[in-house]
Structure 1
Amino acid sequence: MKISLKKCHLGFKELKALGNVVSGLSFGIDKNRVSAVLLKPMPQNKKEIQSFLGFEGYYRQHIKDFASIARPLYKLCDKDTVFEMTIDRVKAFESLREALTTSPLLLMPEFKLPFKFYIDASGDGLGAALHQVHIINDKPVEGPICFISRKIKPTEARYGASQMECLCLVWALEKLNYFLEGCVFEVITDCTAVKSLLNMKTPNRHMLRWQIAIQEYRGNMTIGHKDGNIHKNADGLSRWPLPNNIDNPAYVPEEASPQIPIEGISVTDLNTTFFEEVRSSYTQDKNCSILCQLLNKDCKDNSLIHALDEVWKKSYDEGRFHLLDGIIYHRTKHTCVMTVVDRSLINLVLKECHDSPFSGHLSEDRTREKVKTCIWWPMWQSIAKPVTDAKRQINPLARDLEI
């Protein structure tokens, strides 16, 4: 791979990319790109309406109450609706054009800071707004990171208020898990029943399934209550939701299993002592033992950071490490959480990922790739020999053939 210097931009405070203006703190709409929309004439047919909504939909996360404003135009696109630009549709068209030039900036997520996750459900749909408090000009400022919404399905319309709110939480967590996985956040809702979802002792079948789906967030998620008359962040999104389509699919918890981030390990038949061995192995490794101290909330000795090896120090500075139940997790660039395992346990992990009845006895390369999806270790090339040795121990015939 070669870098073209004429295509590089160095030393800029902000850059234009894919129709957006991106800076270190936020990103917004490129006004030069959307200026032509202000001169766009009134649509004359459904095809032009769909084209306009497609363009506006690209920037919908920037436009407050986009679903509410665009609802008359989306209804006009229905197959059985006769095309007619009524007063409310003309107003919606003009409001969307104007919104592109006055849309608020969206904050860049800072994964070291806690998030605020506003959710709300109504008889029309589900809505959520992800916020975060940043220090701007020495003042704490809460701003939006993104907005999501969807319509409810006919089967969901029979749910009660508590079930609907819990459904909204599960759907929103699934939708924005790439922001929230491994991060600390507070869910804010106007329904007190959601606060008991994690610890409900006698849940019905829906609640039980949703309770299992959000277990991976236990320890990082707290649930707070906010009165409905001041819970405006997500309320409008739920009452005027976006239509469900390929770009905005509805999450169906009845048909889909919850994501399990540690795929390679969770499908094997590990005994309970394995994780105890992982915890005890940290004391034998310099970097792991230092991380356990640094990630402890009571630790105030920041000088320990300098004792980490360079690769570990870089990941720590980027906020990629998390400590949960005594196990260290590492957030990759793709926001996948993996367990950090001491070098002494690599062979044990390889055996479980290859020899287990659930693992499929994969080839050397595929076994190594499978391990890399669930275990983080900075020197992966060093496990090539352990993979081969593990396979030879399992299959003596393969060893003889190699000789």
Structure 2
Amino acid sequence: MTSIFSDLIEEMVEVFMDDFSVYGSSFSSCLLNLCRVLTRCEETNLVLNWEKCHFMVREGIVLGHKISEKGIEVDKGKIEVMMQLQPPKTVKDIRSFLGHAGFYRRLPQSFPYFKEALVTAPAVQAPNWDYPFEIMCDASDYAVGAVLGQRIDKKLHVIYYASRTLDEAQGRSYLVGSKVTVYTDHAALRHIYAKKDTKPRLLRWILLLQEFDMEIVDKKGIENGAADHLSRMRMEEATPIDDSMPEEQLLAVKCYKLAYNKKEFEEACAVKEEEFPWYADIVNYLICGEIPKYLDAYQKKKFFRDINHYYWDEPYLYKKGTDGLFRRCIAEEEVQGVLEHCHGSAYGGHFATFKTVQKVLQAGLWWPSMFKDAYGFIAKCDPCQRMGNITRRNEMPQNPILEVEVFDVWGIDFMGPFNPASYGNKYILVAVDYVSKWVEAIASPTNDHKVVLKLFKSIIFPRFGIPKAVISDGGSHFINKVFESLLKKHGVKHKVATPYHPQTSGQVEVSNRQIKAILARVVGVSKRDWSAKLDDTLWAYRTAYKTPIGRTPFQMLYGKSCHLLVEVEYKAIWATKLLNLDIKEAQEKRSVDLHELEEIRLEAYESSKVYKERTKAFHDKKISPKDFKAGDQVLLFNSRLKLFPGKLKSRWSGPFTIKEVLPFGAISLFTKDGSEFKVNGQRLKKYLADSVIPEGSTVHLQEPQLA
């Protein structure tokens, strides 16, 4: 600052640190000087605080003194305490006042004259920066008194009177950078820097005093008369008794509804009065030394062990963490707001529990149940609930389909379209028996209902008879009037899989996957002969060992193994035997084979039952249990839902309301227009929120209140 106005100092401006004053002998000269100074500020890019600027004043406070055309005068703010001195009325007041008067070695005859002498120059003088400062302070139950002065020629010159603790704006500028001697009757302060096991409260005092170059000298209250007197001054004011009571408080009566059933009674009992914060006992002990009475011996021991990590700085409580940092303790009613900032705000990022808690700690805040509260808050966060995918842990418990008789239940499904086409065919219609795992398949150029009718009329019905049930997905090629009339005519029940849940028709899905794998390995380089290889693929599939039934589908159907070309080429035992032409012996063998076939099918059923029970137990152990109830709010995972292009999209739609929980994991939902549809519980998850606001709803806001 001095270098900026070096050529203007003592001519029109005076500078002290970061403050400067512009003066002039008249209004016009002061205006010209001000223009020159402001121009210099613009040239040097010096920024001024408009709120602290005062223009064209005749008098003002500069460095604690009143400057005017009369010269330098005493600031009334410094002597306000002395000007308010009341005449002593009791013996104790007289003794206190005489001690104050004896401190200055002045003995005036009247109190008003003495008071005037205390507050006029040279009693209150400007500081001389070449001499050290001295502070005489004392505290009482009513106030803190202090006198700031300098000892020049062994005589104390007063600079400032105070009857309360000096704040930074009033006292810090005098003391920083100067040698200070403090006279006080607090003898323990002399040893405050030498203590090794300093408590948090004393540690805070040390940190506040470290910026001052000070020496603490013990001085009894009798010898420190001025400060002792100032600290015990108290204005007795009569406080009127306000016996009025506002009508809105007088008429505010709490009413509870009469309970007519158990539910209403429990709701009424759940009403709680205003509770204290969780740290109330800690604060009571730190301030008043009050120990909670309800603590047992173990709890009391833990209480005193934990209390060392807390310290009270009115009006807040702080806790020292393991990293040595102090963090403010948050009450229960503030937790929601803190988590909204650290999780859902612009700088929150919607992270998971651990990172959200770390952001709270980074902000210097703490409370005991941080992880629990953060987990519950994030679980109810709407944007977070609409993200993520579904995994196997989200699946519903398995419900295996068990049938005793072969060809009672068939599963059907289309594969394709295949590219390239093979002899005009693009699709394969597959049908699989749920007991024997026998597969039938035909290639077709389309995937309409005509192909389905052809399969049943030419293959299923004439070869295997009329089944009891057919399982398929909800495609239009299976859900149509022509196919439904055919099944109804033959008394076949049609079961439709839950939308977007292929596991319902899991048997045919597994067969499709295996047939695709075989075709991928046997087709030619051009990939156009897959329809010609379909019959060979079915032969390979039917003669392959199936773990659930413990044998091949061919054995389940015919009671014997299929003779393969390898047996002829390498002379298996049946290839070396002659044809048996004995009718009686052939009849006996055929009878034994038929009985053996029944045993094979029963064994296959038992093997399939055990296999599916083990699979169900293994599967259900890996999933997360779900408990849906009618009326719950849920989100639906829709892999075909397209909200935004690219990766910034959510596949969770809703929330929807559950109408009914159906058997085998199916859930019936309500849509916004009141219609209903069914989905599998795997694609649902509960929507957690205090209040659900559907998409497209109107929220009415209150009118803003004008100031």
Greater C-alpha Rg: 2
Q: Per residue, is there more helix in 1 or in 2?
A: 1
Q: TM-score range by the shorter chain?
A: 0.3 to 0.5
TM-score after normalising by structure 1: 0.34
* Relative contact order, higher structure (CA 8 A, sep 6+): 1
TM-score after normalising by structure 2: 0.20
